[in-house]
């Protein structure tokens, strides 16, 4: 069911998927359709956020998420500032709260934050007046990634309700898997997860997913396969014997794809480790929607920025 005209988000911040209800998720996905259309025009700019200031506060490396937010802000005519740990006073030892209070003193309307600590955006939401958007906090949540993933699934499959989705890989370090599970369960999809037992967080099954140790069982008949990156920078070593062994057991190959539904789509949030969690032929092959996820990411972030600035369904500036 599509939300009625006039419906708006009931939240000031986007800290995660968990606090949203199913209607709010649908509102964001429906609003994204309009922004995707704007992104396909020869002139991709609308005056919606003219005069608003947005700070992109990235304390961890990022390529897609950061450039996607920046393009989304530019297409909405907002003024944006990029702020990262390297080259800032954070490298001189300034605390997160002090840095945020100083940024806040410059009166931004929104702060988009990525941080290695789970809960950092929630802390900022308590001490700052600005709207806070979580662009990934530790291994906790990455709400805009889950929204762009859901948008892509709905675009390709026509629905989320009843879809069988397998999420495979390094589940332990992934904020993407948590946000995806919250969202997919809210909209009625069935989720199976698989990864080496050393990379499955204890208690994951309590989120309402089936945990399958063998990747083959997880892939059986699924409509969507989402592969996750092996996050070697967060491992102290020892989670699995070698990258070759990992690929042999959990790499998505053309052979393994045959186990899924014949119209399966293959997703990955990026960055890819080719030959580790996914074979190059699969990443570049006919089932892959990986670059479409990136395209949709800009439209999803435009929708989020619009809705959190008080935007209302059916009143989008043309």
Catalog residues that contact ligand NCD under the rule CB under 6 A: 64-65, 136, 142, 145, 175-176, 229, 231, 269-270
Phi and psi for 135 in degrees, rounded to 5?
A: -105, 25
CA distance 279 to 247: 8
Report the first-to-last Cα separation within the chain, whole angstroms. Answer: 24
CB nearer to ligand NCD: pick between 3 and 136: 136
Tell me how far, at minimum, the Cβ of 4 lies from ligand NCD, in Å: 32
- Smaller CB distance to ligand NCD: residue 100 or 228? 228
Based on CB atoms, which residue is closest to ligand NCD, 172 or 191?
172
Q: Give the sheet arrangement for strand 79-84, strand by strand.
A: 79-84, 53-58, 110-115, 131-137
Find the shortest distance in angstroms from Cβ 147 to ligand NCD: 12
Instruction: Return the structure tokens found at 315.
Output: 């009143």
**Minimum CB distance to ligand NCD, residue 68 (Å):** 9
Rounded to the nearest whole angstrom, what is the least distance from the CB of residue 83 to ligand NCD in the complex?
Answer: 18
Q: How far is the CB of 313 from ligand NCD (least distance, A)?
A: 27
Long-range Cβ pairs for the range 310-314 (8 Å, 24+): 310/8, 311/8, 311/31, 311/48, 312/5, 312/6, 312/7, 312/8, 313/3, 313/4, 313/5, 313/6, 313/7, 313/8, 313/27, 313/30, 313/31, 314/5, 314/6
Q: How far is the CB of 181 from ligand NCD (least distance, A)?
A: 14
Residue that the structure tokens 């092996």 belong to: 230
Q: Which of 112, 159, 152 is nearest to 131 (CA)?
A: 112
Output 34 or 57, the one with its CB closest to ligand NCD.
57
DSSP run (H or E) holding 165: strand 164-168
Decide whether 119 or 220 has the Cβ nearer to ligand NCD.
119
Task: State which residue, 14 or 176, has the beta carbon closest to ligand NCD.
Answer: 176
> DSSP string of 35-69?
HHHHHTSSS---STTTT-EEEEEESS--SHHHHHH
Q: Least distance to ligand NCD from the beta carbon of 221, Å?
A: 26
Instruction: Name the residue nearer to ligand NCD (CB basis): 52 or 114.
Output: 114
């Amino acid at each position: 069911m599509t939300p009625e005209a006039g419906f708006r988000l009931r939240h000031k911040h986007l800290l995660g998927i968990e606090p949203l209800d199913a209607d709010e998720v649908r509102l964001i996905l429906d609003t994204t359709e309009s922004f995707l259309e704007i992104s396909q025009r020869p002139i991709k700019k609308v005056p919606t956020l003219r005069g608003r200031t947005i700070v992109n506060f990235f304390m961890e490396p990022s390529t897609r998420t950061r450039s996607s937010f920046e393009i989304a802000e530019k297409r909405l005519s907002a003024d944006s500032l990029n702020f990262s740990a390297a080259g800032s006073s954070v490298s001189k030892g300034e605390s997160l709260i002090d840095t945020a209070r100083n940024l806040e003193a410059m009166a931004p309307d929104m702060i988009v934050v990525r941080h290695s600590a789970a809960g950092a955006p929630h802390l900022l939401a308590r001490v700052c007046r600005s709207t806070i958007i979580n662009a990934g906090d530790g291994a906790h949540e990455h709400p805009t990634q889950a929204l762009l993933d859901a948008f892509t699934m709905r675009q390709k499959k026509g629905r989320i309700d009843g879809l069988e989705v397998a999420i495979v890989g390094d589940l332990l370090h992934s904020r993407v898997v948590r946000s995806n599970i919250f969202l997919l369960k809210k909209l009625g999809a069935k989720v199976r997860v698989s990864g080496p037992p050393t990379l499955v967080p204890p208690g994951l099954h309590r989120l309402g997913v089936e945990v399958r140790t063998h990747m083959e069982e997880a892939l059986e008949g699924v409509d969507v396969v989402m592969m996750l990156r092996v996050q070697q920078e967060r491992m102290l070593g020892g989670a699995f014997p070698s990258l070759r062994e990992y690929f042999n057991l959990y790499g998505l190959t053309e052979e393994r794809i045959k186990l899924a539904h014949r119209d399966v789509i293959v997703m990955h949030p990026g960055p890819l480790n080719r030959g580790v969690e996914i074979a190059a032929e699969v990443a570049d092959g006919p089932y892959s929607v990986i670059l479409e996820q990136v395209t949709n990411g800009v439209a999803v972030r435009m929708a989020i920025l619009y809705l959190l600035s008080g935007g209302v369904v059916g009143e989008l500036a043309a």
